[in-house]
A and B are shown apart, each in its own frame.
Chain A
C-alpha cells in the first residue's frame, strides 16, 4: 500500500491545523457562515438534513486495517456508531458535530487519511478497480497511476476552482468494475508495443444530463500522462460554463464542442503544457509503484475449498472471485443484508472487517463503488474461517450482483439535496426478492436507486434504475431499464409514468417476470432488454 512521505504528511497536518483555526473562528463569530461554508466544504464537511456530514476520502478505495479501525473509532466516538460507504468509494458520517471536526481530522491524519477535496469544484477522490492487484484480468495494478493523479491533483492551484466538480477513475482491466466511462475522465491502462499507456476517455457522467465519455486519446504514454490530463483540464477550465451550474460539467462542454474539436484543443494545449516539464521522472513513478507491490503470496497454497457446509458453499459461489495467484481468492463482503441499509456498517462490523483483513488479507481492504467491501488477498484455505466470522456479524449475505445488491444513495432520509427517499425503496425491493433461489434465478441484475437527479445512486447505470422525484410534495419514483456502468456501458431509458413507493416495487416485479418469460439461454436481464427493447417491458408494467 501507498505510505505517506514527509510531504504528504506535512500537507495533511497543515490542513488539519488550518481547519481547526477556521472552526475556532467560526464558533467565536469571527467569520460568518457564508465565509465559513466554502472552507468547511473544502474539508468534506457538509450541513445535511439532521447534522453535519463528514465525507472521508478513501483514495482509489484502498484501506489498511489500521485505517479501517480508525474509521470505526471515529464512528464510535464522534458519530452514532456507524458509517456509510459511498458510491465514490468513500465513507460518510452523518452525525458530526462542528466542534468535533478538527479532532476527527487529526485522528484521520494520524493514519494517513483526510477529507480534503471530497467536496467543492475540484478534482475529487480518484476511484479505481476494487480488485486491483488481485484480478486475473488486469494488465497491471492501476493504483500507482491513481496515486500519481492523487498527488498531482491534491491542492492543484489551477484546478481548485473548476467550473464544477471533477471525477476521475483509473482501471487496468477489460472488465470495468469502476464505471470508468461515467466519469469526467476515465482512464484505462492499456498495452501497446510492450509498453503501458493510458486510453483517455473524457466527458462522461451521470447527474441530470448523463453521458458516456468518448475516447479522446487511445494511448498516452506514462511520461506524458500528467501533461495530457493537465491539458484536458485546462481546456475545460478555460471554456467550461461558469454561468449555469447545470451546464458546467465537462461533459456539456465536450457535447457542445464535439469530441473532435475538444481533442484538437487538448492536443494544442498539450504541446504547450509538455514544455513546462510537469511530468515526474520515471523513477518517481517507480517509487510509487514499489509501494503497491503485491504481497508475497504462497503459490503452493492449496487450491481446493472444502464445500461441506452448504451455507458456506452458497456464499463462496456468490461472494468469492478468482485471484490471479493460485490458492488465493478475492472476498467480496456484502453490505446489503436483506432489509438493511445499503452501504451502512456499524463500528463493530468495521472493526471486524479490519481484523479479518489483518489476519487473512495482508492487511488490506477495498471499498467498492457498489458500496461493498473487498478483502483482496485471501488464502482459499482461510475462506471458511472468514465466512464464519462474517456470518456471525451479519456480513455474509450471498447476493453479489444480484437484485438485492442494491446501490442506493442516502436519499431524503439524510441528504438535503434529495427529493425522495432511496433507502426504504431499496429495503422493500430486497425484502420482496429476499428468496435467494429467486434472486439466483434472475441472475446478474444491477439495481441502482437515486433520490434526486444528481444521481449519486447511479440510477442511469442500473440494469434497473430508480429515480426518486418530488411530485407536488409527494415522493414519486421513475423507473429506468437498460443501463450499465460496466464495459458494456449504456444509459437507462425511462419506462414511462412514475410510481409511489410500493408501486415501483410492484413494477419491478412485473419487469423481472417479463424478463424470465422473454430471456433465452444465458441471457442476463440487460441482454434480454437490449434484444427485445422497451416495448414488452412497458406492456408488462403499464398494460
Chain B
C-alpha cells in the first residue's frame, strides 16, 4: 500500500491523508494507490498540508504502518521521549516502530 504524509503548515506536526482529510494518527491513513502525487498537489496548493510525499506502507491488524523506520518514528514521535509521542500513556505504543 501507499500512504500520503506531510506536515501541518501551521504547527509542523506530522499528518496522514485519510482519504478525505488529514489526521495526526497513522491508524487513520488511507491507501492512496497511484493517486498520491495528485492528491498532494491539490492539498498543498490549498495549504492543508506542507511538504507532502508518498511512502510505502504495510497493512497490519492494527492499521497501516509505514515501511521505513524514519516514517514509523514520524508516525508516533521520538523513541527516546515516550512522553512526547502521540500516545504518552501507553508504554507499549512504540513496540512496532523499531
Contacts and interface: CB of A to CB of B under 8 A. Distances in A.
Interface string B39-79: 00000100100110000000000000001111001100111
B12 A47 contact: yes
A80 B47 CA distance: 25
Contacts of B81: 341, 413
A331 to B, nearest CB: 27
B96 interface: no
A475 interface: yes
Contacts, number: 68
Interface string A44-58: 000111111000000
Interface in A131-154: none
A474 B69 contact: yes
A44 to B, nearest CB: 14
A27 B9 contact: yes
Contacts of B44: 33
Contacts of B13: 50-51
A440 interface: no
B14 A424 contact: no
A439 B68 CA distance: 37
B69 A413 contact: no
Interface residues of B, number: 23
For the residues of B in contact with A, the DSSP-based class is loop
A413 B80 CA distance: 7
A97 B10 contact: yes
A424 B68 CA distance: 18
Contact of B69 (A96, A98, A423, A475): A475
B10 A27 contact: yes
B79 A50 contact: no
B40 to A, nearest CB: 12
A99 interface: yes
A98 B68 contact: no
Contacts of A416: 70
A117 interface: no
Interface string A27-55: 10100010000000000000111111000
A185 interface: no
A102 to B, nearest CB: 13
A139 B67 CA distance: 56
Nearest to A418: B70
Nearest to B44: A33
Contact of A412 (B12, B47, B51, B69): B69
Interface string A411-431: 011101010010110010000
B79 A413 contact: yes
A19 B73 CA distance: 31
A414 B78 contact: yes
Contacts of B50: 33, 47
Interface in A448-479: 470, 473-475
B23 interface: no
A418 B78 CA distance: 13
Nearest to B10: A99
B70 A412 contact: yes
A98 B80 contact: no
B74 A49 contact: yes
A100 to B, nearest CB: 9
Contacts of A95: 12, 84
Q: Which 3 A-B pairs have the closest CB atoms?
A: A51-B12, A52-B12, A413-B78
18 contacts: A47-B50, A47-B51, A49-B78, A51-B11, A51-B12, A51-B13, A97-B10, A98-B11, A412-B69, A412-B70, A413-B78, A413-B81, A414-B78, A416-B70, A421-B79, A424-B80, A473-B68, A474-B69
Given A26-B9, A99-B10, 16 more contacts: A27-B9, A27-B10, A29-B47, A33-B51, A47-B7, A49-B14, A49-B73, A49-B78, A51-B7, A51-B13, A97-B11, A98-B9, A99-B11, A416-B70, A418-B70, A424-B80
